[in-house]
Amino acid sequence: MKNHNFWIRLASSVVILGSTLAAFYLGSLVLFIFVAFISLVGVFELYRVCGIWGKPLAAAGFMGACLYLEAVYLNWDAWLLFVLFLAFILIMGTYVFTFPKYAFSQAAYSLFGVVYVPVMLSYLYRIRQMPDGFALVWFVFLASWGCDTMAYCTGILIGKHKMTPELSPKKTWEGSVGGVLGSALLGFLYALAFREHLKFLGNPLLYTPLLCAAGSIVSQIGDLAASAIKRSFGVKDYGRLIPGHGGILDRFDSVIVTAPIVYYLLLLVK
């Protein structure tokens, strides 16, 4: 049974990686559709866990998410905050005109879903639109998925001190440090192999490890935050879309918060 689960998980990982690689290679509309898809599925998963899916508040949040994604695709950078404000008005308007049918916490879940998933994940598309974007966008995954793998390996080998025993009993401080250092090493090797495609950075051998290390720290917070939300609502996984992994949010939980920090660090380096 364990071997069967392993092969299912491995096959799912290959499909996810292949789909992600194809989407980021093609870029433009294909990438936008990919990001929009995982964003809206993620919103659905979060709303279902929070218990508001199928309610008007969820519809308002879903509409706000679509408006924001459309503004990103149309490159309305100067209007993104205004579009987010419109999403806020949609949600609060729904809350007000259905009062007292829903609790304020449910309205907060609706707005949180818009910010937590589509706003954060939209930075994947924005990084890809930069010069050398196809090479730069992989920093997000080196910092998140790379950190997750390296932290797991380090924790298995030398992990002793529990980091958050009540939230994630298997995570250790040794594993966390190993994840950060491992991400930095992966970043350095990546820059060594593809520095001709990383001219945006100026000195990729210096900046890439630093970017990946910084992103990996944030990615671990994102991973634990996603676990905390699940624990709060008493669920194991956000969904079952990805066999062996759970839902979109289970697989992209660390990517969600890593993408924005990598984007702004790239702007800082520039």
DSSP string, 131-167: TTHHHHTHHHHHHHHHHHHHHHHHHHHH--SEEETTT
pLDDT digits (tens, 9 = 90+) for 141-153: 999 999 999 999 9
> Which pLDDT score, from 0 to 100, does residue 161 have?
87
Least confident piece of the model among 53-57, 143-147, 212-216, 242-246: 242-246
pLDDT digits (tens, 9 = 90+) for 41-88: 999 999 999 999 999 999 999 999 999 999 999 999 999 999 999 999
> What confidence category does residue 255 fall into, taking pLDDT thresholds of 50, 70 and 90?
very high
> Which pLDDT score, from 0 to 100, does residue 237 have?
85
Per-residue pLDDT at 167 exceeds 90: no
Q: How far is CA 223 from CA 79, 144, 210, 220, in A?
A: 30, 9, 20, 5
> Which pLDDT score, from 0 to 100, does residue 236 have?
87
Burial 92-119 (b: 16+ CB within 10 A, else e): bebbeeeeeebeeebbebbbbbbbbbbb
> Which pLDDT score, from 0 to 100, does residue 4 have?
55
> What confidence category does residue 165 fall into, taking pLDDT thresholds of 50, 70 and 90?
confident
pLDDT digits (tens, 9 = 90+) for 83-133: 999 999 999 999 999 999 999 999 999 999 999 999 999 999 999 999 889
Cβ–Cβ under 8 Å, residues 125 and 72: yes
Read off the pLDDT of each residue in 207-225 and give the average, rounded to a whole number.
Answer: 95
Closest to 124 measured CA to CA, from 143, 113, 138, 142: 138
Helix, strand and coil percent figures for the chain, each rounded to 5: 80, 5, 15
Closest to 58 measured CA to CA, from 29, 35, 91, 92: 91
> What confidence category does residue 160 fall into, taking pLDDT thresholds of 50, 70 and 90?
confident
Q: How far is CA 1 from CA 152, 237, 244, in A?
A: 22, 20, 12
> What confidence category does residue 5 fall into, taking pLDDT thresholds of 50, 70 and 90?
low
Read off the pLDDT of each residue in 165-171 and give the average, rounded to a whole number.
Answer: 85
